[in-house]
Amino acid sequence: MNKHLNNILKVSLLIAVTILSKTTLGNQNLLIFGDSLSSGYGISMKNSWPKLLDNKIKEKQLSLTIINRSISGETTSGGIRRLPKLLSEFSPSIVIIELGANDALRGLSLKQTKKNLTTMVELSKKIGSKPLIVGMRIPPNYGKAYSERFFNMFGQIAVKTEIPIVPFMFKGFATNKNFFLNDQIHPNEKAQRKILENIWGELELLL
């Protein structure tokens, strides 16, 4: 009788653990927090890299829900105001931070941009999320020194906060006009798969 009861308890415990495990995994969210480069600017959302990432996650049957809260024109100052609420609402296990380009294009202080991005990383880590920062370059006509400082800033943040980094979002096609819209700033639909490849290489290590 005792042996039979023990077996029932073991099976019940196994079922409970399995259900809990599936529930926990099923509730994991991945937050994409960026600007127009991640919001599907000028292209169909179904062909944007966040949607392509969503498709890839589903194909691999990973228990992740993609939540894209990127806004065209967003700066790091705007991002730092929005992020706390999103972290509280979605409790993401991973946060992809793709911001900073609009700060530079507006000639804003890189010191403040760096501080804002660092704070966003720290806020994410504080709730147990794994941040991934995405690096970017700006056109050299903004001044070689400023452009280099901007690019190096992302790596410095990654080292300081000990998080992974996608060194350059446009790696492999940045100088090819065929991968950009007429403004030569925003990537077109053809570029989205290349962006995903660049991001996936680092993101995969966090899954």
Q: What is the pLDDT of residues 177-186, one digit of tens each?
A: 999 999 999 9
d(CA 143, CA 92): 37
Average pLDDT of the segment spanning 74-84: 98
35 is catalytic: no
Q: Work out the mean pLDDT of the chain and round it to a whole number.
A: 90
Average pLDDT of the segment spanning 62-72: 98
Give the DSSP H or E segment for 68. strand 65-68
∠ Cα 177 179 184 (to 5°): 50
Q: In which band, very low, low, confident or very high, does the pLDDT at 18 lie, cut at 50, 70 and 90? A: very low
Which DSSP category does 19 fall into? H
Q: Has residue 10 got a pLDDT over 80? A: no
Cβ contact 166:133 at 8 Å: yes
d(CA 154, CA 70): 19
- Predicted confidence at residue 142, as pLDDT, reads 87
Q: In which band, very low, low, confident or very high, does the pLDDT at 19 lie, cut at 50, 70 and 90? A: very low
d(CA 106, CA 57): 35
From 120, 101, 122, select the one nearest 185 (Cα to Cα): 101
Cβ contact 202:165 at 8 Å: yes
Fold for 28-206, please state it. Rossmann fold (3.40.50)
Phi, psi for 107 (deg, rounded to 5): 70, 25
Which DSSP category does 52 fall into? H
- Predicted confidence at residue 3, as pLDDT, reads 52
- Predicted confidence at residue 139, as pLDDT, reads 86
pLDDT in tens, 135-148: 999 988 888 999 99
183 is catalytic: yes
Q: Which range among 26-30, 64-68, 76-80, 155-159 shows the weakest confidence by mean pLDDT?
A: 26-30
Catalytic residue among 72, 77, 91, 186: 186
Q: In which band, very low, low, confident or very high, does the pLDDT at 7 lie, cut at 50, 70 and 90? A: very low
38 is catalytic: no
Q: Does 1 or 146 have the greater pLDDT score? A: 146
Catalytic residue among 35, 36, 48, 103: 36
Q: Has residue 25 got a pLDDT over 70? A: no
- Predicted confidence at residue 27, as pLDDT, reads 65
pLDDT in tens, 98-136: 999 999 999 999 999 999 999 999 999 999 999 999 999
